[in-house]
Structure 1
Amino acid sequence: MDTANSLFSAAQWQHVLFAQSLLGTVLLTPDHRVHMQNETWQRLMENATAIDAASPDTAPPNTPHLYDLIPQAEKILGPLLERAWQGESVHQETVRLKRNGRIVYWDCQIIPLLRDGRVSHLLLLIDDNTRHIETKQYLSQQFADRTEKLHALYDVIAAATEAPDARATLNWSLERILDAVQCPAGAIQIINDFDEDADVEAVRLVAHVGLSSPMIDRLAYVPVDDAMIAPILSRDEILVISDHLAELHQIPHEGAHVGVPMQVRERIVGILSVFCPRRAHIWRNRVGLA
């Protein structure tokens, strides 16, 4: 692109290309210093210091270096800039960078500006595509989560139709849930308030996977007002409890407890418990598989 001095210095050209552009626009010198920039670029750089330059022929002193503003630019944008210095117009979509601890995605276009047949400056145009990419990633994750839930549901339905008894179905379902949430141990307890022979309302253990003997004994028959299960039965939501039982401290993989009230026709009929290491991070949407 051949450009005359008069074109570079035209106030109207600068106003349209820099001031009014919705793209982050910056003029780079041969040593990759920011010679001119617009407000959109300043916002991308989070209010970088304004640069007052009338033309490319009068560079202000101490202009910032692109690689100082964006530490990863030399590695990621460097090869693209080198191609532009060879006279090639470069367009690269979804360039992934890290800005102040946050991942951003830019669509970049680099245009070489020629003077006397040689590249004198580069025009770098940035379209911040972060929100679009994040939305796409979120929707993709939601789709994957929904698909996983459907697969889990189909598996449980299949087990219910093939298993010889309810206990086998519960054990298989529990194994499937633990695999989905990537936790080593769990249990299913059922409220026995329909049992006329029961003296007190309690929950009894009907299925378990990976539990230690002490924990099996602990969960075998528990009154509903017990400190371990009362908070779960009293609310209609997932409850994550870490380090709440002294006996759990001696068993590493049972250090944290996630309790899920099990409902049938809007009535709580039992508890699904998932146990994992105390420092494990359990994704709430994965626990929702239960």
Structure 2
Amino acid sequence: MITRFAPSPTGPLHLGHAFSALTAHDRARAAGGTFLLRIEDTDRERSKPEWEELIFEDLHWLGLDWPEPVLRQSDHLDDYHAVIDALAARGLVYPCSCSRADIRAALSAPQEGAPPVGPDGIVYPGTCRGRPMSSRQEGDALRLDIARAVAETGPLQFTETGPIHPGQHQADPEELVQGTGDVILARRVSGEVAYHLAVTLDDARQGVTEVTRGEDLFSATPVQRLLQELLRLPRPDYHHHRLIRDERGRRLAKRDDARALSLYRSEGVTPEEIRRMVGL
């Protein structure tokens, strides 16, 4: 059993991160398996060495350990782009020049109900779909043509071991097309590889057998299963756990500095007390 905790070094870890890391570490230890730490630092503008160092300090303080060296996504950018090129050669990728404002404008025409929202926000309406890669210009995003991709794959099944959605699941191809839309593989302005592709390739690269993460990412699983099938990658199990929320019911974010682990450390809180605070 191999699982992982994969934070981005863009701010301090908070109680929600502690719960996710401890959950993954505890599950790996109970199974006699391996807990991995991965640094997801493709956001080069917001990722900072000092935040990465703080991640190591916080996790060691919690009593966690992991094999070295740690995988950093920034070390594998060429690998990600090579995969995008291979998908493009199969006619599954197209360039997109739409900004967020363009997408909102395209969806502002009178229609029944609100626009569908998927794991990446408002579902892209397909404005640039059909553009050939030869028309790509500097600054274009690269999107996966979900409908074409679904046509190339078989059933998209996955096993959920978490307490919220336990059991066997099968992604609905129509829901992928209508409810997820053509997800971004590389971003428009920076050219950075986007989450879905990077995390899918990294889990395969590291031999992850169980993906441990928050329930807010459950809806991202079908598109990642689609990428696994397209690229002939192994299929891990998934363990989506509950989220740690504030007193108003909102999930914690890195802006919640008052719940930063480094602050608790400085105030003399113990790792055992952190475990109790998050319900472990």
TM-score class normalised by the smaller sequence:
under 0.3
Larger of the two Rg values belongs to structure: 1
Q: Which has the higher contact order (CA 8 A, sep 6+)?
A: 2
The structure richer in strand per residue is: 1
